[in-house]
A and B are shown apart, each in its own frame.
Chain A
Amino acid sequence: MTTLFKNTNMIKRLIIKDWELMKKGIAGYMAAGIVTIGIMGMATEITFNVGAILMITLLIVIGARSAVESIVNEKKDQTMPFILSLPISPQHYALAKLLSNLVLYIVPWLILVLGMLAVIISTPIYNGVIPLVVLVSVYILAAYCCYLATALLTYSEGFTIAVMIVTNLLINAFIIGIMRMPEINQTFKAATASWNSTSLTILAAELGFTCVILVLTAYLQQRKTNFL
């Protein structure tokens, strides 16, 4: 752990490097994000729904692209030996990857989710939809963490894409599943957001799952003995 603090400069350099490599993509997403929030902000039912679909798509695409581009491709394009020849241990390299990807994902995720919540709160859209929006957004975050973990632990394009496909297919099942739950369904069209034990339990499970995935990834990375 002490070496970690001694090496924060190097971890910072690697995060900046990832930002520089991905900034073109991120710039594109930022533009798309502004458009998405602008569309949702038009506050009609159609624009809100179109904006919400765009937002989900955007969140999935951002996650998928960052995991593939910054992790899987580093192995595939054989740039990993170059980075690992620098004064960093493979464990800290993996940590830098985990951190840079999380930061680069969570920032747009937060902006888009908060933007969406702001639209709901400040428009005639039923506030009862808020728990559903939060649960789906956190699901997308958890799914992202799943394929981020897969990418980091396997560096395999095949496995990572497989996990992406499975988690993204399950999103529909997840939405339908929670929509059918009476506790969530009944409060859906209420004027105010009502959190009950069911929605809170699902949220806690999602967050817990996400934390477990991240901690487990970090732990397994530290135990790895063979890189390249």
Chain B
Amino acid sequence: MNIGQGSVRLFYMDNLRALAMLTGVFFHAALAYSPMLHSMWPSADQQNHWFFDVFAWGSHLFRMPVFFVMAGFFCALLLHKQGGKAFFKNRLLRIALPLVLFLPLLSIAMGYIIEFGLEQVQNPSPFLAFVKTLMTMPETPTMPLSTMHLWFLYHLLFLYLLTYICHILVGAKFANWFVTLKPKHLLTLLILAIMPALYVVPVPFPAPEWIFPALWALWFYGLFFALGFGYFTKPKLIEQFENQLAYYLLTGLLCYALCYYLLPASLLPDNQPTGLLKLGLTLLESAVSVLLTICAVLYAKRFLNSNHAVMAYISKVSYWVYIVHLPLLFFIGFLLLDQDWHMLIKFVVSCVATIGISLLSFHLLVSWTWLSGILVSKSSG
């Protein structure tokens, strides 16, 4: 019996992963030139432009949800193909081990890079300047424990645990009910279900980097994870949106335009919207997340479902690039702070250099070692 999409080759998933990963690098690079995050981002440049904000926050609202949809999808696929025990072993090796292995290394690296920024950068960002002042205080505050950008892996582990819990407590009956819903109703339900999670955090929703599982993130990303899980077992769940995809894309973009317009000029805690404005922004954020995530998956399926050598290569290295890109971006960003170049050039240089060094390090440190067995994803077929 062929359940879900277990026996179909899924090139578009590999390609989508590659694109989403690249978008992640561009997103983090763009934040250095974001007016909204100017006072909070460690490598924030003196130059900034709203264009970077438009791109950064637009991609931010659906990029990680897309990753979680894929994670849910592959979770179902792996469970279907290999069963519970093999799944558990696989996730321990591919998710828990890299987290345990790289979190300390990245923390140390990030410590050194921030120290480098504090000591060497002549034109520090507001964040670096703020840290410098803190350092002069008699009691230096300690940095909170953080999972950094590996929060994705960390929360994924909790979502696997929750999947197991749901499997024991609820079974498949619940998922079957969702499939019976009409597209409009399912969309409304998803958007409304997401709203409480996003309402409790600042706009645009932050990365849940702290050492504790963030309940809002488990709820928010968990819904996308569940959507991906359901998509594997019942492809109709997402494919039913295919007919009116252009309409959903347009609605999503319009919602984002309005959302961007309503966002505060600076994302400092004091500037956070309250009351009805906050509620409206949360509704728009939720709508954008749901609509653009579904569009991303279905457009990828429509236009990117073929084997492309470059995309396959990027997909192959994406896990490694994901792990190392952020400290590299900060380091390069700090170096660029003192350069008198145009921000667009700086942005391109930081992206190219980060990706270039990541790829180089992949071939030098990973591709021929045991690490490749853990970090190189097999084809999704």
Contacts and interface: CB of A to CB of B under 8 A. Distances in A.
A27 interface: yes
A40 B162 contact: no
Nearest to A39: B215
Q: Which range holds the interface residue count of chain B?
A: 10 to 19
Contacts of B144: 122
Q: Which range holds the interface residue count of chain A?
A: 10 to 19
Given A23-B168, A28-B169, A31-B162, A118 B212 contact: yes
Contacts of B168: 23-24, 27
A27 B211 contact: no
A38 B213 contact: yes
Contacts of B212: 37-38, 40-43, 115, 118-119
A27 B171 CA distance: 12
A37 B162 contact: no
Given A24-B169, A30-B165, A122 B145 contact: yes
B19 to A, nearest CB: 31
A8 B341 CA distance: 71
B210 interface: yes
A211 interface: no
Contacts of B164: 27
Nearest to A23: B168
Contacts of A30: 161, 165
Contact of B213 (A23, A27, A34): A34
B145 A41 contact: no
Nearest to A31: B165
B165 A35 contact: no
A27 B166 CA distance: 8
A34 B161 contact: yes
Nearest to A26: B168
A186 to B, nearest CB: 22
A209 B214 CA distance: 37
Contacts of B158: 34
Contacts of A23: 168
Contacts of A119: 212
Given A23-B168, A41-B213, A42-B212, 15 more contacts: A24-B169, A27-B165, A27-B169, A28-B169, A30-B165, A34-B158, A34-B213, A38-B214, A38-B218, A40-B212, A41-B210, A41-B211, A118-B211, A118-B212, A122-B210
9 contacts: A24-B168, A24-B169, A30-B161, A30-B165, A31-B169, A34-B158, A43-B212, A115-B212, A118-B212
What are the 5 A-B residue pairs with the smallest beta carbon separation, nearest first? A41-B212, A38-B215, A27-B168, A27-B165, A122-B145
